[in-house]
Chain A
């Protein structure tokens, strides 16, 4: 007994010392680790099936393993990927020429049949709840492979955006027979792609380990090993970066940027190809929560353009961008940051003008203002719940009493779908301007597939016509100009109040020379260049 009690502390300290000796070299010796890249990401990889769910959470990490026919560069322009060129043969026919000498990670050659397999798997095999990718291929009538390096696609009607759609679809390898199921892929039948990194191991929602694909067609990838650690808590991501446990951390909160810089980390950021906005319900005659000052329900005021204009004029984007997003946001006047294809240079964010806004309200017959409930998700987008407060304060200056109501994202969606909200804060993203216009602002029409996110039932026949016309034009400057015009029209009608484009912020440590930001917001090892010795 006595001996034991005396030995114990010594044993423990010996034990601790031995651990510390084991671990001591891990931090200071950098040269040995040079080859391994460690990334802390907020995107949790939930499945290894690249076609299961169209969520950044999955696609960001899987883009190391799988590749797409077409890539989008930092300006969102299309660039060759597994396809070297593509051209429309007619309105409804496309030809894609594939890259030669591309091999899957098991050594087998990549050819046109794999593209056929990929499209068939998404279109015909995967069953709900998976199916986020189906909308990209639903316009495809048939696909064939006349020779190993050519894919012929026939569409139902014109689909000028087909190459763009292929920038979201990961190409899988056709197995010897049948189609791979999601269960098989998750259970560890190793994911087989052509990408710059090979799959080593994963743990859903925890980590993903990758190794360099030495036979990569695009040249030797920079890192011999890449480890992703899923860290959803932003403070924990920041801590991991500042202690040097990881080399890159994504989705850094703007408020932590200064302290990270003090600790020597570098920061990269870019305006996201997405928009956060206020959307109105203009479909119904009365709205929940919208009352006059005495609490009596009033007719839906948002049907009146003057009221929408007044609220837009009374929205102070400066506070949102400078204070809430700490400068890591861009005030918005349209659906994408100015300068990206399809945006209009004429649309610039307006400074608030409360007098004019008040005058507009009076003209609309609401000189005393009214009450409303401003709903929004909490914790989904940077600055979401705080923005509700700030907007409510601005609107109070013209007599509109807004009661902010923030809810978790899923609750918010459930309630919005149930019609519990009259006006709300929302956000959306897309591969291109026309996709956002198509889903967010075009009149809801299930047959044409428009207006899926137009929860407010906004309808504008002129805009629908202009958008449809623009969408029929081949991708290029002419199409972009037509899209910009349509945007000008719909923004003049104040269908939404554009608020801001938040910035993707990435922090990185001394191992990294530079990090190339992409507006789509994925976090990948390919964007990470090692520091030069």
Chain B
């Protein structure tokens, strides 16, 4: 019963979130400007062309009616057709998803273990040279703007040394009906720099979080008992400290992963990585409302799902959560 009511609460929350998000997104993009000027070539179009295109896109209707039409269409599973690409908006978003998913996953696969490991070690040896280096490096990594980091990675990794390509996805291979880069050598090679650009700030963030958690947990009684019992310090660190600090780390990994799916705009643009974030920012610039709305909806759903997964994970990680429910 408790489970069901929690799930129902969750669902209604998600529903409210989606409604609010769609309203804000819709009105926001509407007030930016009129997309019709991006659909017709303003340098050659006649007023008649512009008028006809406005009517064809339904932009002559009042905004509330446009919104109702949009909601009606979404309920029947149709996000509309992109003004710019003239393809179904949701399909367009889904076609950009593999690129983003693999980039974000690989960045997180680098960031999560590396960040946690560094944080654990730094926290264990807090005050030592190693700790100070980790601390300072993480502060600088967090304060570097991501576009600068990306540019420096291109400069160092591609332009000066020629080790890695400066952008693009490289060759892709088909898997589950989608094109993936990580299945080919050239694709993996193209993944390195953008994944690093996404991973480095996250390594720093996770390292700081796990370091402070470690310091806190290491001073608790149960760790001292472990030590008194004679457990090797590695075992204490991985079997006792790590699970105890993992709840906030999992939370931040979930949030950051969602953020990377949606808002890796800067990195995707600079590395011309054709992902969801780049599609979103391009579409906002071109006022391609169906695509913007489809992307925002997808992102909102992704965040809701990720948060639910994180909550489930709590139960796996923390016996107290399991026992209380």
Contacts and interface: CB of A to CB of B under 8 A. Distances in A.
Interface of A: 19, 22-23, 26-27, 46-47, 49, 52-55, 127-132, 134-135, 182-183, 186, 203-206, 229-233, 235-236, 239-240, 242-245, 408-411, 413-415, 417, 427-430, 439, 446, 449, 452-453
B162 A243 contact: yes
A54 B44 contact: yes
A131 B270 contact: no
A128 B189 contact: no
A129 B57 contact: yes
Contacts of A19: 185, 188-189
Given A204-B92, A242-B159, A410-B285, A186 B86 contact: yes
Contact of B37 (A23, A131, A235, A410): A410
18 contacts: A19-B188, A53-B41, A129-B53, A129-B57, A132-B40, A135-B46, A186-B86, A229-B272, A232-B272, A235-B151, A236-B271, A239-B167, A243-B165, A408-B285, A409-B37, A410-B37, A410-B287, A413-B42
Contact of A430 (B35, B44, B162): B44
Contacts of A49: 86
Contacts of A131: 40, 49, 52-53
Contact of B158 (A26, A46, A239, A449): A239
Contacts of B32: 408, 410-411, 414
A353 to B, nearest CB: 32
Interface string B48-70: 11001101110000000000000
Given A236-B272, A408-B285, A411-B32, A446 B48 contact: yes
B149 interface: no
A8 B34 CA distance: 55
B159 A127 contact: no
A23 B185 contact: yes
B274 A206 contact: yes
Nearest to B55: A128
B53 A414 contact: no
Contacts of A54: 41, 44
Contacts of A229: 168, 272
A219 B63 CA distance: 55
Interface string B254-284: 0000000000000001111010000100100
B15 interface: no
A230 to B, nearest CB: 8
Contact of B49 (A132, A182, A244): A132
A53 B40 contact: yes
A409 B34 CA distance: 10
Contact of B40 (A129, A183, A415): A129
A132 B45 contact: yes
A131 B188 CA distance: 42
A127 B32 CA distance: 26
A481 to B, nearest CB: 25
Nearest to A408: B285
Contacts of B165: 240, 243, 245
B307 interface: no
A17 B119 CA distance: 29
Nearest to A412: B33
